[in-house]
Structure 1
Amino acid sequence: MKYIFVTGGVVSSLGKGIVTSSLGAILRGRGYRVTAIKVDPYINLDAGTMRPYEHGEVFVTADGAETDLDIGHYERFLDLDLSRKNNITTGQVYKAVIERERKGEYLSQTVQVIPHVTDEIKRRIREVAAEQEAEIAIVEIGGTVGDIESLPFLEAIRQFQFDEPAENTLYIHLTLVPYLRTSEEFKTKPTQHSVATLRGVGIQPDAIVLRSEKEPPEEVRRKVALFTNVRPEAVFSSYDVKDIYEVPLVLEEQGLGKLVEKKLGLEPVFPNLGIWTDAVRVLREPEDVVTVGVAGKYVKMPDAYLSLLEALKHGGIKNRVRVEVKWIDAEGLIEGDLSEAFQGVDAILVPGGFGIRGIEGKIRAVQYAREQKIPYLGICLGLQVATIEFARHVAGLEAANSTEFDPYTPHPVIDLMPEQLEVEGMGGTMRLGDWPMQIRPGTLLERVYGGARTVHERHRHRYEVNPAYVELLTQAGLVVSGVTPGMQGRGTGLVEAIELEGHPFFLALQSHPEFKSRPMRPSPPFAAFVAAALDHKRAHRVLAAGEAADAREA
């Protein structure tokens, strides 16, 4: 087993997750079995209860873990389904150590950070790598070197260099190199201090990746090498690119893959990075461009919808087009003319979310998409507001709502799932992870999934379409095209997908298919949605050309 440890310095949010994922893609392109592990120093057991505005998206794994968004990057770049064990937090580690102490497993010992906490960290890293039969495990340490929270994890990975043969460990440090426009120079002093701090805890990096606005010149790399005790050929640059899928190509071109081969004693291999070359080519030179209006409540923090944005991008790659997103604050849709808000969009998407803020705006967005025949895709909450809108304006159920937003609504078309009634805690208690969806034949959903009758998608919700209203809604014209099979006492089963007949593309899912979307395997609903947006744009382009011709004749 080979271990690569990625640390970060100077500031947080530098892009360690992208560098880790890109390195994984480079090694996967060489044919190695790779896994990636994210260490988060926060005391939370998982990311499930964190605010999206503060921490970004909560990514859900197939086995139902609510994890850091970097796990999503790993899955997309490595094309792997990772598990809850791939995200290690301080809370998990200390909880396990305390439980062992209570069981008497440390009897007669004074339980300390070293060796008990550090041993638990190392045990978890090794366990994940072994269970997933990886040849190389890439471990990203969250936060910034110098943070007090990270010290136990840095000590644990320091010990790996003595627990393992020299050729089995590699340390990479990602650090910021600011560019001062006033003096037109790169400043390396923060990097020097960051590496000094890392060396102060006993870790000498084997390679340094400089995060910068633009590619630094050779003299900057040589200066960093001189002051950090790293050879110049082991200093790389991760500068700003137009799209994150360029990063594996940039780092491979600079020789990162070859350095890893040399340091870890791997056989030199020419990598197959064709998927990234093709993706970048489409993103740079698309055959067309479509605009998707995303009506959400976290629009000031795009990372809250990270997987969704990437799934749209993947759908664009599949259709050889670039997808541009127009952010639309749902709160601003509650009143006023929607035609202005949605001007220039080729499709409308309502994503997931929690809480009442912006709900009425999202309902109006659904109504606008339904009435104006604009392609619509609803995700999780996007299905629930679509059901509410249909119940109010088509089925005649005035004041229909979700009990999440109005506990006293006369028509609770969306209600708390029965199994949630006895739940008291908030963390890890929703319907999470992969669940099957049985597809109704002859529907748009069946065409989207290529004729499949049962598929699995990931979930994260507490509320569902109220089974008591399904028959009434379907009689009014709502098509329930997907259900969870085998649900006892639910009649047709939990509603997983709805659509409308006579609409060019109207599809909403209770699941989050964006979590399974990859550049090489786009999510079927997102790929079909982008295709529908392209059709809509082209149809309107033809219509506009016809109207212009008629005007000229007149």
Structure 2
Amino acid sequence: MARYIFITGGVVSSLGKGLMAASLGALLQARGYKVRIRKFDPYLNVDPGTMSPYQHGEVYVTDDGAETDLDLGHYERFTGVSARQSDNVTSGRIYQQIIARERRGDYLGATVQVIPHVTDAIKEFALADADDLDFVLCEIGGTVGDIESLPFIEAIRQLRNELGPDNTAVVHVTLVPYISAAGELKTKPTQHSVRELTSLGVQPDLLLCRCEHELPASERAKIALFCNVRPEAVIQALDASSIYAVPLQYHGEGLDEQVLRHFHLEGPSPDLTRWDDILDRHQNPEGEVTIGVVGKYVGLPDAYKSLNEALVHGGMANRVKVNIRWLDAELFEQDDAEIAAQLEPMHGILVPGGFGERGSEGKIASVRFARERKVPFFGICLGMQMACIEGARNTAGIAAASSTEFGETTEPVVGIITEWMSKEGLQQRSAEGDLGGTMRVGAYEAKLSGNSHISRIYGGATEISERHRHRYEVNSAYRDALENGGLVFSGMSPDGLLPEIVERPDHPWFIGVQFHPELKSKPFDPHPLFRDFIAAALQQARLV
């Protein structure tokens, strides 16, 4: 039977519950246990797929086509366990399922209520597909005291009673602020947060205290006394130099040991060799490169969280530090001198995914700069589409080339994708349909051309599987014109209809992909595209 660890947060948001869950999962893995991590999101959206990145950061995509919270990216990167649709649920999805059941008459005329119907649905989600696991870690989004999270806290209370205290644990992540004027750490916010959680019927077993200064033994004892936990179960979580230092830091503070003690388990000592090597590569680089990311949401780094980490992983693979310069594509729309001033110092240029017309001309200008100056270029999703539009305009002679995403055009080099084949069969969409849950999303295969740059990057593979999330596609009717202009289609969908990868053989490193390779990159297994892109940027740096 799986044991359940519920992770809650108090005092303020953004304390790092997701990173804590990922780190604890990695530590339990290192001791030989099989783990899975899940996220409960209290908001009423069915999923984050239609939310602005400025509202909620990036949308993380799973192989089975779920659009999920970005914390699932942390879970995958730290544990290597591929996330699934069943690993993320929102209040919106819970209520959607309950209302559908009520409309069908599944409740046999009963009054549908938060308790038991909503809490039962939450418990079903928590308990599903857990037979082969040792631990299931469940992170509750938001902060204790939020109205939205109350049904989830109540579901935890019920599960603790049903599964028993020996099969469940609650880790409460809280804040111990330092008041500089007084020169003191203050424990009262933590006390109040635990009191709030306890008043809802959930007593935490461990407290992870985020703090900027060392937490003295006297303060730990005080927190333990007022919060009704053992002093050893009050664990300090100081700010780390890197997220990849967090598992080792939490192990040093005894987090995994205290969790196992709670469950009366004596696991083997953890094998942390992997994390020692990751941290060594990250903290002791032998060079550095600068990558310019020309995007739309550069004001919020979480909008490109997986991309940021994948670039770091590529640096680890090459033992170099990657300096990322976030460049607003709108700044490049009018001034060629500004483009040159911003991009000339870059050793590589990356145009990431995104939606909408804003900044598109700046991205196209960045592609042109990279092509003409022979700077390594990497286009992802919309970035590949911009590379095709740039190629159509400037090397294929199609001056009016554009995308139907940006409005009506006489030369739709990029257009909405209306049908495609999936594992479930033919999928069809229309421009007038719903936005949520209608994209080509999840893992799809692509066939690679022999003797291509992309095939060499993938170790000679002829077929790959990568995760997609897009509504628009490069129009294969323009393939001949683009290839005559030097932009080769080196990867296609298995049926040969949908362009997946383009490259320029006459360029040192110029690749565009329709999928999102950053979603599968891990610190201990960097994605080959990012590994090779950073290697090309390093070569560029040596030429400067």
TM-score, normalised via structure 2 length: 0.96
Secondary structure of 2:293 counterpart: strand
Aligned length, in residue pairs? 532
Q: Distance in 1 between matches of 2:220 and 2:539?
A: 48
For the pair 1:481 / 2:490, whether they are aligned, the reply is yes
TM-superposed CA distance for 1:205, in Å, is 0.5
Q: Distance in 2 between matches of 1:239 and 1:509?
A: 39
Cα offsets for 1:340-388 (capped at 9, x unmatched): 1124221010000001111100111111111111111110000000001
Paired residue type of 1:511: F
Q: Distance in 1 between matches of 2:184 and 2:542?
A: 47
Please say if residues 416 and 431 of structure 2, whose CA atoms lie closer than 8 Å, have aligned partners that are also in contact: no
Which residue of structure 1 lines up, in the alignment, with residue 481 of structure 2? Answer: 472
Larger mean CA deviation between 104-113 and 502-511 belongs to 104-113
For the pair 1:534 / 2:526, whether they are aligned, the reply is no
Which residue of structure 2 lines up, in the alignment, with residue 21 of structure 1? Answer: 22
Change (3 A) 1:384 1:197: same
Alignment map for 1:281-430 (pairs within 5 Å): 281-336=280-335, 337=337, 338-407=339-408, 409-419=409-419, 420-421=429-430, 424-430=433-439
Which residue of structure 2 lines up, in the alignment, with residue 46 of structure 1? Answer: 47
Please say if residues 56 and 303 of structure 1, whose CA atoms lie closer than 8 Å, have aligned partners that are also in contact: yes
Q: What percentage of residue pairs aligned between the two structures are identical?
A: 52
TM-superposed CA distance for 1:196, in Å, is 0.5
Q: Which runs of structure 1 show a deviation greater than 3 angstroms over 4 or more consecutive aligned residues?
A: none
Q: Distance in 2 between matches of 1:217 and 1:369?
A: 53
Paired residue type of 1:305: Y
TM-superposed CA distance for 1:536, in Å, is 0.9
Cα offsets for 1:183-208 (capped at 9, x unmatched): 22212111111000000001111000
Please say if residues 86 and 128 of structure 1, whose CA atoms lie closer than 8 Å, have aligned partners that are also in contact: no
Cα offsets for 1:394-439 (capped at 9, x unmatched): 11111211111131x2211111112232661111100000000100
Which residue of structure 1 lines up, in the alignment, with residue 231 of structure 2? Answer: 232
Larger mean CA deviation between 416-425 and 252-261 belongs to 416-425
Which residue of structure 1 lines up, in the alignment, with residue 242 of structure 2? Answer: 243
Q: Distance in 1 between matches of 2:477 and 2:415?
A: 10
Secondary structure of 1:529 counterpart: helix
- Structure 2 gap ranges (5+): 420-428
Q: Distance in 1 between matches of 2:531 and 2:540?
A: 14
Cα offsets for 1:104-146 (capped at 9, x unmatched): 222142222111111111111101423xx22110000000000
Q: Distance in 2 between matches of 1:345 and 1:238?
A: 36
Q: Distance in 1 between matches of 2:187 and 2:375?
A: 51
Change (3 A) 1:134 1:401: same
Change (3 A) 1:307 1:188: same
Q: Distance in 2 between matches of 1:139 and 1:247?
A: 19
Secondary structure of 2:370 counterpart: helix
TM-score, normalised via structure 1 length: 0.94
Change (3 A) 1:120 1:378: same
Q: Distance in 1 between matches of 2:183 and 2:370?
A: 49
Secondary structure of 2:387 counterpart: helix
Paired residue type of 2:199: G
TM-superposed CA distance for 1:236, in Å, is 1.1
TM-superposed CA distance for 1:509, in Å, is 0.3
Which residue of structure 2 lines up, in the alignment, with residue 193 of structure 1? Answer: 192
Q: Distance in 2 between matches of 1:454 and 1:423?
A: 34
Paired residue type of 2:98: V
Q: Distance in 2 between matches of 1:193 and 1:418?
A: 53
Which residue of structure 2 lines up, in the alignment, with residue 271 of structure 1? Answer: 270
Secondary structure of 2:433 counterpart: coil
Q: Distance in 1 between matches of 2:290 and 2:527?
A: 18
TM-superposed CA distance for 1:217, in Å, is 3.0
Please say if residues 423 and 429 of structure 1, whose CA atoms lie closer than 8 Å, have aligned partners that are also in contact: no
Secondary structure of 1:153 counterpart: helix
For the pair 1:506 / 2:510, whether they are aligned, the reply is yes
Cα offsets for 1:58-112 (capped at 9, x unmatched): 0011011110000111111110111111001111111222222223222142222
For the pair 1:116 / 2:120, whether they are aligned, the reply is no
Cα offsets for 1:26-50 (capped at 9, x unmatched): 0011111100010000111111011
Which residue of structure 2 lines up, in the alignment, with residue 129 of structure 1? Answer: 130
Secondary structure of 1:326 counterpart: strand
TM-superposed CA distance for 1:220, in Å, is 2.6
Paired residue type of 2:533: F
Q: Distance in 1 between matches of 2:345 and 2:518?
A: 24
Please say if residues 21 and 73 of structure 1, whose CA atoms lie closer than 8 Å, have aligned partners that are also in contact: yes
Cα offsets for 1:272-309 (capped at 9, x unmatched): 12221111111111111111100011111000000001
Which residue of structure 1 lines up, in the alignment, with residue 59 of structure 2? Answer: 58
Which residue of structure 2 lines up, in the alignment, with residue 519 of structure 1? Answer: 523
Alignment map for 1:3-22 (pairs within 5 Å): 3-22=4-23
TM-superposed CA distance for 1:240, in Å, is 1.3
Paired residue type of 1:519: P
| Aligned equivalent of 2:470, options 453, 461, 465 | 461
For the pair 1:496 / 2:500, whether they are aligned, the reply is yes
Q: Please provide the CA RMSD for this pair.
A: 1.2
Please say if residues 53 and 303 of structure 2, whose CA atoms lie closer than 8 Å, have aligned partners that are also in contact: yes
For the pair 1:436 / 2:469, whether they are aligned, the reply is no
